[in-house]
Chain A
Amino acid sequence: MNTGRVWKYGDDVNTDVIFPGRYTYTLMPPEEMAKHALEDLDPEFAKSVKPGDIIVAGKNFGCGSSREQAAACLWAAGVKAIVAKSFARIYFRNAINLGLAVLQCEEASDVLASGDPIEVDFAAGTITSGARVFKFFPLPESVIGIVQAGGLIEYTKKKLGL
């Protein structure tokens, strides 16, 4: 179970506005990445985001570059899940591989607004905001193991017996 506030954005939120290219090819600790999260889309975000907050967006979230920091910076900023109508393919993989929940839910995306309270119950597959309850599309079987292991690195270690 996770409780937080909604940060609402539109369709096609791309990796350049989530984490600009100018920072992409230097190695940065997670807390530094968090300071640049959504810098070119919403300068308020990095200043006011709180651990447990959740991003709610439209279709094709995370389109563009394969840069993993676009998932890592949100995770480092305390975001516990992203709810969207759909995710760009590489972003979806990157988020799973880092253990950041990516939840597909059309209805929640249409209805929720910035500042709304939001609760995600991962086990039950539900998103709750006040009296409203939404079901999210379950993650594919094949990747649940990665999420359960806490991301791909831990999953790979286990696979290799390390």
Chain B
Amino acid sequence: MGQTFSEKVLSRKAGRAVRAGEVVTVSPDYCLSHDNSAAIIGEFKKIGVPRVKNPDSIVIILDHIVPAADEKYAQNHKTIREFVRAQELPHFFDIQNGVCHQVLPEEGFALPGKVIMGSDSHTTTYGAFGAFAAGIGRTEAASIWATGEIWLRVPETLRVEFHCRFPEGVYAKDAVLRLIGDHGADRANYEAIEFAGPAAGDFSLSSRMTLANMAAEMGAKNGYFIPDALTIAWLKARTLQEFEVVQSDPDASYEAVLSYDLSALVPQIACPHTVDNVQPVTAVAGKPVQQVLIGTCTNGRLEDLEIAARILKGRKVSAGTRTLILPASRRVYLDALRNRTIEILSEAGCVILNPGCGPCLGAHQGLLAAGETVVSTSNRNFRGRMGHKDSEIYLASPATAAATALEGKITDPRTR
């Protein structure tokens, strides 16, 4: 019997043929961390080794609270910068770069067949490029810094096949919300999700990142696409490193195969307070909304901002709806500036934030008051995540978010 993608990648790393369910100790190619690096440094110091094992494998990207919102955050960032200097870590990206899950691929680290561990749950995003990428905790990241190794259970694989094409106004975010809504927030717990089928290659890389990012919201360890010509061309423009495309064997064993006809989908929205509480947008249309957030590592790429700009061009967002734009990275911001997307959004009355995580996790830059409702293109709608515990978060596509901003109430983008 053949091997799945995850079995193959981890077999190579482990130096022996492994199957789902086995536990392996491997050396990750990269270990990502962000503002939580300050906490990781604390754990690393407890272990007591003077130097990190493999400086070249450590990628640190400051993004969660940038620029520092108060003195404590400022101290955190300072601690990290001092450590980076002392340990001579070559891959450090300070506050001006953007969200780690966008910056790491842009900088050419998210390569096919690589094993990437990240001290952030949405590390799954790099599967969009055919990497094996999974989230871990801080103590584990410290242990990787010290030893260069981590234990991993080889995951079973859930294959999701996409067929046909999206109708007008329906996007990758709608597909993944429907998937999570149909099967639950823990359906893929401990598993890999293979995004495949005849329509998989039709997804842009941005859309693939949206899907791989949201795999975490189904409990998945990793979620991935098999790289194609589009992926290879994108990566070749960003790295000189060699890499090898890994894909599942035709006779690999899957835990289950799910099938989705994209042409039958309508715009979807995840209602408070769980990501799997998904309805068609029409079911909750008309609900007043005080804030809209368009951006984040889930939907903050150029294609997402352009979709919003097409809807908002020459119009004004509703007076009662604060509309925040959060580009995923400085490069995305620059591209959107150069092609006037930012100008269109600003003229429509949007607030353009600097690239970073900001309001998505409720740390700064636009929190919600009690009783307020937000429509966000981010990935989590847990109670209190974006502000007061009595606020409500709805998750949707950039098109639904932009249409909602215009009307000041939840709006199906197909009606605009």
Q: Which of A1-9, A87-95, A105-113 contacts B (4 or more CB under 8 A)?
A: A87-95
Whether B139 and A88, one on each chain, are in contact in the complex, defined by CB atoms closer than 8 angstroms, is: no
The answer to whether A64 touches B121 (Cβ under 8 A) is: yes
Which residues of chain A (52-100) have a CB below 8 Å from chain B?
59-60, 63-68, 71, 86, 88-90, 93-94, 97-98
Whether A124 sits at the interface, judged by CB under 8 Å, is no
- Cβ–Cβ < 8 Å partners of A156 in chain B: 47, 142-143, 146-147
- A33–B142 CA distance with the chains assembled, in angstroms: 20
Q: Is the CB of A86 within 8 A of B151?
A: no
Number of A-B residue pairs at CB separation under 8 A:
131
- Could you tell me the distance between the alpha carbons of A114 and B43 in the complex, rounded to whole angstroms? 34
Are A20 and B362 also in contact (CB < 8 A) when A64-B380, A156-B146 are? yes
Contact B380 A89 (CB under 8 A): no
Q: A40-B389, A152-B140 are in contact. Are A20 and B384 (CB under 8 A)?
A: yes
Within 8 A of B (CB), among A100-156: 140-143, 151-153, 156
A26–B72 contact, CB under 8 A?
yes
CB pair B23–A160 under 8 Å, yes or no, is no
CB of A12 within 8 A of CB of B185, answer yes
- Does A46 make an interface contact (CB < 8 A)? no
Interface set of B (CB-CB < 8 Å, partner A):
23, 35-36, 38-39, 42-43, 46-49, 64-65, 72-73, 76, 119-121, 135-140, 142-143, 146-147, 151, 153, 185-186, 189-190, 219, 221, 274, 361-363, 380, 382-385, 389
Instruction: Give A residues with C-beta under 8 Å from B.
Output: 12, 14-17, 20-22, 24-27, 40-41, 59-60, 63-68, 71, 86, 88-90, 93-94, 97-98, 140-143, 151-153, 156-157, 159-160, 162
16 contacts across the A-B interface (CB closer than 8 A): A14-B274, A20-B362, A20-B384, A21-B385, A26-B73, A27-B38, A27-B72, A40-B384, A68-B39, A88-B186, A90-B136, A90-B137, A152-B140, A153-B46, A156-B142, A159-B147
